[in-house]
Structures are given as structure tokens and as C-alpha cells.
Amino acid sequence: MKDCLKARAMLEFSGLNNKFLGGDYSRCIDWIEDIAHELDNKVISDFITVLWNIWNSRNNSIFRGLRMMLE
């Protein structure tokens, strides 16, 4: 997800540290666990919400033909 330009832009806009965006992870869960160990619960909750919104936008784009808007 972090390698997709639109997803990366949303993650950067949400304030995710470049330390996490630049890491080399073979599994998504490893990436999420590293982030979870560094952030407090409120920020983790916001992060998971951002991930869900990225996934939802991707699905809307693929299955409904809707475009993901970055504002």
C-alpha cells in the first residue's frame, strides 16, 4: 500500500513518519506492527482509519469506477 503513489500521498498527509514509509517490509502486518509499537493508541486508531479509507477508495475505484480524490 505504501508503494502506491496515491496511498503514499494520503499517508504522508496524515502525518506518518518517513521512517515507516521508507522501510522495507515483506509483509504488511510487519509494517503495521512496527508503527503500532511507536505510536500511542489514539494515533494508531487514526492510522487504521486512514488505512481503511485508502482500501475503501481503492475498492470503489476498481469495482464501481469511482476515482480516488486527493484534496
Residue 41 is assigned to a structural domain of this protein: yes
- Within a domain: residue 69? no
* The dihedral sign for the CA sequence 57, 58, 59, 64: positive
DSSP assignment of 3-57, as one string? TSHHHHHHHHHTT--HHHHS---SSHHHHHHHHHHHS-HHHHHHHHHHHHHHHHH
pLDDT tens for 21-68 read: 777 888 889 988 988 888 888 888 888 888 898 889 888 988 988 776
Q: Is residue 70 part of a domain?
A: no
Q: What is the pLDDT of residue 69?
A: 63
More confident site: 33 or 70: 33
pTM exceeds cut of 0.85 = no
Do the domain assignments include residue 55? yes
What is the structure's pLDDT at 71?
Answer: 55
Would you say residue 2 has pLDDT above 60?
A: no
Residue 11 lies in domain: 5-64
Provide the number of structural domains found in the chain. 1
Q: What is the pLDDT of residue 3?
A: 66
